[in-house]
Homo-oligomer: A and B are copies of this chain.
Amino acid sequence: MSDVNAGELKTDRVSLRRRPDRGHYDHASVAAVLDQTFLCHIGFDVEGQPFVIPTSFGRKDKTVYVHGSSASRMLRHVAKGFPICLTVTILDGLVLARSAFNHSMNYRSAVILGTARLVEGEEKYRALEIMADHMLPGRWDETRLPNETEMVATSVLALDIAEASVKIRKGPPLDDDEDLAHPCWAGIVPVNSYVHAPIADPRSPKPVEPPSYLKNIRGLPMTETK
């Protein structure tokens, strides 16, 4: 099974051991996970203690950008060149097997290892645009763009995607044949993210029509807000 799913991002330490068929190691697979959601989790180590912090991000080509306050402990620490792990996970469903042992989750996750670098100057400004447009393509051009004070108050980190794995678990439960006759219901319960109709800021001086890009956010279905 060792040749299953090779890829240019594969190294020993990101390789899936137990279910190699669920591992993917190419840029297209990483991008497919990253581009369908909004939050990542960044793992870093401070004096022997791991921290895992959720944050928004943007991807452009083979680089992921995150930003935060220049005063943030995480950004200040990570910018020093310590290795990090950036993980993005999308839950797709609950997998209910007949055996307790074979219960699982359907999900897609991307795990990227590397060392982030602090981004400055023109690349920093462009990275902020990439992050805004990752959240909502077209948003950046409509906003009041960052001024010098805001640029100083924000730090931006870039992580190149060079060592990464994607794990995908999908499909029905995998019960043993001898459990199929067990009388409980078995199958999957799909779980998905949905977007509700936008809610205007109550401080808006006059009503503004929601922009068309709010009608299709990363392909997520839109429901009425209850």
Residues B144 and A99 in contact, CB atoms below 8 Å apart: yes
Judge whether A29 is part of the interface by a CB distance below 8 angstroms: no
The answer to whether A52 touches B45 (Cβ under 8 A) is no
CB neighbours of A123 from chain B (8 A): none
A94 in contact with B18 given A45-B45, A187-B199, A202-B172 (CB within 8 Å): no
A interface residue count range (under 10 / 10 to 19 / 20 to 34 / 35 or more):
35 or more
Q: Could you tell me the distance in whole angstroms from the C-beta of A12 to the nearest C-beta in chain B?
A: 11
B residues in contact with A85, CB < 8 Å: 43, 49-52
Residues from chain B with Cβ under 8 Å of A132 in the complex: 100, 103
Residues of B within 8 A of A204 (CB): 180, 186-187
A74 CB, nearest partner CB in chain B, Å: 10
Write the A167-183 contact mask toward B (1 if CB under 8 angstroms, else 0).
Answer: 00000110100011111
Please, which residues of chain B bring their CB within 8 A of the CB of A111?
51-53
From A18, A52, A101, A199, name the one whose CB has the most chain B CB atoms within 10 angstroms: A52
Contacts of A153 in B (CB 8 A): 101
In the complex the two chains form, what is the Cα distance from A210 to B140 in whole Å? 46
Which of A104, A144, A192 has the most chain B CB atoms closer than 10 A to its own CB? A144
Which B-chain residue is minimally distant from A16 (CB atoms)? B73
Considering only residues 42-86 of chain A, those with a C-beta below 8 Å from chain B are 42-46, 48-54, 56, 69, 71-73, 83-86
Assess whether A189 is in contact with B198, with CB atoms less than 8 Å apart.
Answer: yes
Give which listed residue, B17, B56, B194, contacts A191 with CB less than 8 A.
Answer: B194
Q: Is the CB of B144 within 8 A of A39?
A: no
Evaluate contact between B195 and A188: CB separation under 8 angstroms.
no
Query: Which residues of chain A from 80 to 112 have a CB within 8 Å of any chain B CB?
Result: 83-87, 89, 91, 94, 96-101, 103-105, 107, 109, 111
Identify the 9 closest CB pairs spanning chains A and B, nearest first: A43-B52, A190-B196, A43-B50, A52-B87, A43-B43, A142-B184, A54-B89, A187-B200, A101-B150
12 A-B pairs whose Cβ atoms sit less than 8 Å apart in the complex: A17-B71, A38-B91, A43-B85, A51-B111, A52-B85, A94-B217, A99-B144, A99-B150, A100-B145, A103-B132, A189-B217, A190-B196
